[in-house]
Amino acid sequence: PRTTLTAQQTPKHYGITSPISLAQPKEADLVLTQKLIETLRPFGVFEEELELQRRILVLGKLNTLVQVWIREVSEVKNIPSSVIDNVGGKIFTFGSYRLGVHTKGADIDALCVAPRHVERSDFFSSFYEKLKEQEEVKDLRAVEEAFVPVIKLSFDGIEIDILFARLALQTIPENLDLRDDGLLKNLDIRCIRSLNGCRVTDEILHLVPNIENFRLTLRAIKLWAKRHNIYSNILGFLGGVSWAMLVARTCQLYPNAVASTLVHKFFLVFSKWEWPNPVLLKQPEDCNLNLPVWDPRVTPSDRYHLMPIITPAYPQQNSTYNVSTSTRAIMVEEFKRGLAITDEILLNKAEWSKLFEAPNFFQKYKHYIVLLASAQTEKQHLEWVGLVESKIRILVGNLEKNEFITLAHVNPQSFPGPKEEIDKEEFSTIWVIGVVFKKMEGPENLNVDLTFDIQSFTDTVYRQAITSKMFEADMKITAMHVKRKQLQQLLPKVAIQRSKRKFSRNCEFESCNSDFFLRIACSEGRIAKFKLAIARKKSQNCKFITRNSDFETCNCEFISCNSDFHFFSQLRVLKSKLRVIKSELKVIKSELRDMNLQLLEKKNLNCKMKKSQLPCFIFYLLVEMGFPIFDSNCPTQYLKPPLRVCYIDISSSVL
């Protein structure tokens, strides 16, 4: 009895260190976890039961198809009938589906395991043809020359990627455990790579103390990472397996915590993690199979990895070798912001929805590099985009090496690009990279030449395409530097979301399609306050309705409620184009003086606005843009401008 009690008191040890806390969850933690679940539901992170059953049915059909195919191959190769009866063959899953955290409409990563007499060439020939014969199979394509060869398809509307591994076994038993290191003996490197996904996924599930808490926490963290544009292994951020390992390590450090606590601890641990110290779920093991493993003591290149997260299955590899200086800095900054938000949530000062608010990437930076990849046909475009996307991290690396650039942030989301010729059929894709330049001392403007950085990247892409024999004459790739306000000319309207800004330091009025920007820039130290008082009445409503950059004003009346507009700064209107206004506004300082505005008098501007009056320059801008202005004494009468129309040159640097 005493021995049994000791065994019960000693919890199972997870990870390479002791847990930080064994505290049990409190009632408040359970309530916060339930709130977290309710917040996640609208984002589609939970799949309906009917959809889950459909996935199981599709995988069952695919598994049966594999077994039939292996029997046919065995018969062609004159395998004894006694062996054919039990030859087996099986479909294994890995990735998000195997971890149990897949979202609605997500694809399935699968592995076809076959006995030793079935070769890889059979998989990409006879099995490919067998898939082609199936009515449910659409969009079938084989990528045999990839680092990990794969067949991609849509089976009954579900996207599936199928890898292949041939084991050194005569038959494949139904209860085969791929975690067995002995299965790696006598296998070629491509089969080992194919098996690695399943082996890592299974190890992760065996190394967490509570699978349900792990899954819910991972759903939240993956959604947060996607919303904050830091979810993409190929672009230098973290992929699904890397996020899973970080969450698994958090679960090991807090084995009894529920999801709400684990999400907070996740940000706490990794915002303070001393990179490049590696994240390990278990001590690395050596199986004496002479396979290359991650070990900076032996392999010099491993010492330069910036954010190593090591897979738990042999051969251990760094899943984040693509991470660069910029991407690591971006992710660490997001970890710190996540910690601040979850601190507020635990104190009931904020809701979970705040954690998943998507930042406006297209307002975050002043400078961007837009990358455009285009091809003549849809098939060529699909291959071309895949190649270009896999090389974008090279461009990011080139930009980081530039002495005038401190950070390059590529948005993992791509967008359809504009057509050069409307009549010509063309498929194109756009990626956007935010760039931060170093702040230089002195007032002089800095001209940075990015030609070499971009040219070396495009040369690498073209060279790879030619080497792999996929290049076609109509495949193009271009890169250009643009400023924030120019993005709307290249990206779809849906992509650019205007964030609401308070009138604190910068007030920006931007119309979406007219290229008309009126900016009132208020510099700290020069500006005191800018206050706008608008009185709204039932009969005199002031509404600004912006629809596709068309301003529609209904019953618009500006009333100054015994308040003055105080301008203590120079008005600067930056680089504007007037497409809607037919003629350019010209500078007439003398006319402005005649209308008592005195906007240019010395350094400070003091314009008082009386009842039913607007600053004259705004009045004429509104008139020229078609705004109906009402007389406060007689709401049915328009205020008409003087016979002589005044024009203001918005393109001038300072008024």
For residue 124, the 8-state DSSP code is: I
**Residue 107 catalytic?**
yes
Degrees to nearest 5, angle at CA 35 with 30 and 37: 95
Do residues 131 and 64 touch, judged by C-beta distance below 8 A?
A: no
Degrees to nearest 5, angle at CA 224 with 220 and 227: 140
**Residue 109 catalytic?**
yes
Do residues 123 and 225 touch, judged by C-beta distance below 8 A?
A: no
Among candidate residues 97, 202, 222, 414, the one labeled active-site is: 222
Among candidate residues 14, 97, 231, 620, the one labeled active-site is: 231
Do residues 166 and 120 touch, judged by C-beta distance below 8 A?
A: yes
**Residue 319 catalytic?**
no
Q: Provide the residue type at 464 as one letter.
A: Q
SS3 label, residue 82: helix
**Residue 638 catalytic?**
no
ω into residue 628 within 30 of 0, thus cis? no
Residues ≥6 apart with Cβ < 8 Å to 594: none
Among candidate residues 35, 61, 107, 156, the one labeled active-site is: 107
CA distance 197 to 200: 5
**Residue 391 catalytic?**
no
CA distance 89 to 208: 29
Residues ≥6 apart with Cβ < 8 Å to 396: 235, 236, 324, 326, 327, 408, 410, 433
CA distance 616 to 618: 5
Among candidate residues 14, 90, 96, 202, the one labeled active-site is: 96
Q: Which two tokens stand for residue 179?
A: 């975690």
CA distance 642 to 436: 48
Among candidate residues 161, 181, 343, 474, the one labeled active-site is: 161
Among candidate residues 29, 109, 122, 202, the one labeled active-site is: 109
SS3 content of the chain, % helix, strand, coil (to 5): 35, 15, 45
CA distance 73 to 629: 82
Q: Which residues are catalytic?
A: 96, 107, 109, 161, 222, 231
